[in-house]
Amino acid sequence: MGLNVIKILIAVILVVVTVNLYFLSVILTQETDSSGKTANKIIKQELKYKSNIKRFDEKKALKNNDFEQSVEINTTLVATKKILATVKNIKYFYKSLSGYKSTRTQFKTILNDFTKSIPISVSSESLWNTARKWVDRRGLLPLRGSHMLSNILDTLSTVKIFKADNISKGTQLKIMLTLEGGQKALFKPQWYFRDEIITGPVFAGRDRHNGEVAAFYLSAILNMRRAPITVGRKVHLKQELLPVATSSLLDTFYEEDTKTCFYGICYYCQPKKGVCSDDSGMLEGAVILWLPSHLQLKKYRHPWQRSYRTGVIARWELDNEYCKKVRKISMYSHGPRLLDLIDTAMFDFLIDNGDRHHYEVFSSDNYSTVLLLDNGKSFGNPHEDHIDILAPLYQCCRIRQSTWSQLWSLRGGELSNQLSQLLHKSQISPVLTAPHLSALDRRLDIILAAIHVCIKERNGQEHVFVID
Peptide bond into 430 cis (omega under 30): yes
CA distance 401 to 374: 26
Q: How many Cβ atoms from other residues are within 10 Å of residue 290's Cβ?
A: 16
The four Cα atoms 127, 130, 131, 133 give a dihedral, to 10 degrees, of 160
Find, among 327, 365, 352, 364, the residue nearest to 466 by Cα. 327
In sequence order, the 6+-apart residues with CB closer than 8 A to the CB of 391 are: 75, 76, 79, 304, 316, 317, 345
159: left (phi over 0), alpha (psi -120 to 50) or beta: beta
What are the C-alpha distances in Å from 376 to residues 92, 251, 261, 453? 35, 25, 20, 30
Find, among 346, 322, 317, the residue nearest to 332 by Cα. 322
CA distance 28 to 386: 17
Is 355 among the residues known to form the active site?
A: yes
Q: Long-range CB contacts (< 8 A, 24+ apart) of 102-110? A: 102/409, 103/221, 103/406, 103/409, 103/410, 103/414, 103/418, 106/144, 106/223, 107/221, 107/418, 109/144, 109/145, 110/144, 110/220, 110/221, 110/418, 110/422
Q: Long-range CB contacts (< 8 A, 24+ apart) of 338-341? A: 338/392, 338/396, 338/398, 339/398, 339/399, 339/400, 339/466, 339/468, 340/369, 340/370, 341/302, 341/303, 341/304, 341/370, 341/392
| Phi, psi values for residue 206, rounded to 5° | -90, 170
Paired sense of beta strands 282-289 and 230-236, if any:
antiparallel
What are the C-alpha distances in Å from 46 to residues 24, 158, 313, 371, 384? 11, 43, 11, 28, 11
Helix (H) / strand (E) element for 436: namely helix 434-457
Catalytic residue among 165, 343, 352, 355: 355
Based on the number of CB atoms within 10 Å of its own CB, is 334 exposed (0-12), middle (13-18) or buried (19 or more)? exposed
Residues annotated as catalytic (active site), given as ranges:
355
